[in-house]
Amino acid sequence: MPNQRIVLAAGIVVLMISLSLSPLNHSEDLRKQNISMEQFGGGGTFEAQCSQSSFEDVFTYTWAEFNVTVADNWRTAQIDAMAWVNGTMADDFRTFLDDLLDGLVPSGGDGWLSSDEREAVRSVAADCVEYTMTRVGVRDGEHHRGGAAVDWRNATWVEDGVSIDEWNMVPERHGSVRDCSSFGSSQGCYEVPVVPNSDRDCDSDGELPDECRIELYLSGEVDLHNIQSLETLTLAMNVSNISRATYTINAPYVEGMRLSLFEECEGRDLLNGGSPTPIRGSCIGDGSSSVVTDYNDQGGLTLQIEPSRPNTYWPSGEDLFFDLTTIAPPVDDPPSWTQEAPENGTLWVYGAVEGEIFDPNVVIADWREIAGWFTDDMAISKLSINCYNDEDMESNLFGEDRSIRATISEDSGQSEFSCSAVDLSGQQSAERSFVAMSGFTVSSNSSQGLPVIHETVDMELHGVQLPITDDGVPRQIMLEIGLSQNNEEPVYYENAIILQNGEQQIFSEPSSNLIPGAVNVWFKISGDGIHERVERSGLIFQKIGNPPIISILNSEWIGTTWSMNGMFGEPDGEDVSFSMLIDGNTLGNVDALGNSWSVGPIDFALFDPGEHTVTVRICDASGMCSSADRNLNSTEVLETPRGTEPPPKTNQNDSESLLPFPGSSSMIGILAAAFIYGRGARRAS
């Protein structure tokens, strides 16, 4: 019953205020809590469940208005909210409440919503709101866009500072209103059906209450958490899944306070996380969310915010950032290059695979990198980026996808281009010239022709003659080589390859920790005057594995049944599967545990007397197999007079019981290999 009350409270809360879900980054305190956050009805404390409440992907309101008034001391803010739930949304809302109240009050779950149920909602909703996490964070200091180590000091509800009310949740003006029929109902209780009849009249032109309109109200106070300086403030709002709402933020009078920058940052992954923190001024929004600034009668700054991120975009989220400051607007200077930007004359070096066609169309940089190249008084996203090839001044290399792409000439093996930025005033930054070129080739140094890996990774790298520096010093290409498998991040070798003056270098390193299968090659390319970048090569190796190792320890007869066991190992750590054959026919199962296997007991009374061969085969995930055979004769056992036990035959571990691997001269060697190389999970079949 408590869980149902929590669900009910949270449902109405979200429909009213849309203030649940986590903000941009949880505060440090919240991140350190190790509590179970479950769905409503799934257990957990009242506080834990309310703090994770969110029904915005299930319910929508017709419209909502939020009025936020910041206190003069900037320590707290008063929030007054109102939401309208109209038409069929009101029907859905009442149906949801009635279903959730099944078992909570006598009339719950009966298809009718009663005034008693409304009182049950009011009794717990305000308490639940106090645990919900607001979508707003305010932080003083330098403007920024968050990050892993940033505490946004998210606004939190003040204890006992929330009140909730509603209008017309259970309308008295209803064509089917009746006295409550459930046992235990209070005096004066009335109820209405949650699903109206088809000929109902919504009275949309009237002002009196009917079943088609619900209004919900919230009033509460939030703590803004220790704002020390008003010179620069960053207000952040997580507006994911919010539309059809208006937020009006009223700030107290502060001399010179203005909105210096508004950004609409879209695309944060709400499901998996890990989205990169945007650079201030680099966000490219679609303009659906907006803000209008004004000043009230007391001279205080007001922000009227209309977010637009419907839940159809989920799990792609949206964050709004408002940079407030009392610092006077700077002089409108032209944009300039940052310290992180590539220097004039920088080379972009690309690799090619020997014997394969080189794709001359290369990506110089995407927007995430370009946004860090320039600084300006306004948002970087408002700049016009111009990049032109020296041979074609009509085509901008900066495309609609906000990346820079160039085409390397087949004749010269390079492409020269220049870039600059222009602001809204038409002022241009300095121009910088760059070169993109094919700088080296790579090939497999495999004697088999195909790029395969056995014990070592072998490659040949050939550099081209690079332009010398302005100081007359020959340039060097530094290559860090990494390998990856199964779409995982590459692991790089410690020793880098240095290419200079078109020379050749041999790379040969152990292939430890690789499993059989495809291996991708990666290069970290750097050097003096060379733009540092990571490239996945078109060269793909195949790691050749070793077959599993299997040995027989012993076998024995008990009556007419026979059993055998042994040990196995998988040098490459792959999963393995077993099968058993008797005289070439697949029969029975092999049991495996750890590095041991066993078969039987097998009743040979079901077979003809005579000689038989039992084979245990082991195969790894790459399809490489090994097997161990045991020859036996059941004649003596099966011809023993009934009631007479044959002498046991055990420890049949002569040389014929061992699989003759090259280099395996004794049972000790096989057993040692089974233990040493027995890595990874195994399964038996």
| 198 band by pLDDT with thresholds 50, 70 and 90 | low
Q: What are phi and psi of 545, to 5 degrees?
A: -90, 180
Q: Is the pLDDT of residue 674 over 50?
A: no
The arithmetic mean of pLDDT across residues 629-653, rounded, is 65
Give residue 105's pLDDT: 66
| Residue from 683, 494, 488 nearest 592 by CA | 683
Question: Which pLDDT belongs to residue 52?
Answer: 58
Q: What average pLDDT does this structure show over 585-595? A: 86
146 or 420, higher pLDDT: 420
* Burial class for 468, CB neighbours closer than 10 Å (0-12, 13-18, 19+): exposed
pLDDT of residue 658: 37
Residue 200 confidence (pLDDT)? 66
Confidence of residue 195 (pLDDT cuts 50, 70, 90): confident
What is residue 305's predicted lDDT score, i.e. its pLDDT?
A: 92
* Mean pLDDT over each residue of the chain, to the nearest integer: 78
- Give the pLDDT band of residue 310 (cuts 50, 70, 90): confident
**What are the residues whose beta carbons fall under 8 Å from the beta carbon of 672, sequence distance 6 or more?**
none
Q: In which band, very low, low, confident or very high, does the pLDDT at 248 lie, cut at 50, 70 and 90?
A: very high
Q: Please give the pLDDT value at position 662.
A: 35
Of 422-436, 442-456, 643-657, the one with minimum mean pLDDT is 643-657
Q: What is the reported pLDDT for 545?
A: 82
pLDDT tens-place string over residues 532-544 = 999 998 888 888 8
Q: How far apart are CA 495 and CA 490, in angstroms?
A: 15
**pLDDT at residue 462 above 50?**
yes
pLDDT in tens, 326-353: 988 877 889 999 999 999 999 999 998 8
Quickly tell me which residue has 């803010």 as its tokens.
Answer: 77
More confident residue, 513 or 13: 513
The pLDDT tens digits for 378-391 are 788 889 999 998 77
Instruction: Report the pLDDT value the prediction gives residue 48, as an integer from 0 to 100.
Output: 60
Poorest-confidence range of 5-14, 363-372, 628-637?
A: 5-14
Q: Which domains does the chain have, with CATH numbers?
A: 2-321 (no CATH), 334-544 (2.60.40.3880), 549-676 (2.60.40.10)
- pLDDT band of residue 112 (cuts 50, 70, 90) is confident
List, as one string, the DSSP characters of 10-33.
Answer: HHHHHHHH---S--SS--HHHHH-
Reading phi first (left if > 0) and then psi (alpha if -120 to 50, else beta), residue 141 is in: left
Is the separation of the CB atoms in 234 and 139 below 8 Å?
A: yes
Please determine, for residue 414, whether its predicted confidence score (pLDDT) is greater than 70. Answer: yes
Query: Using 50, 70 and 90 to split pLDDT, how confident is the model at 15?
Result: very low
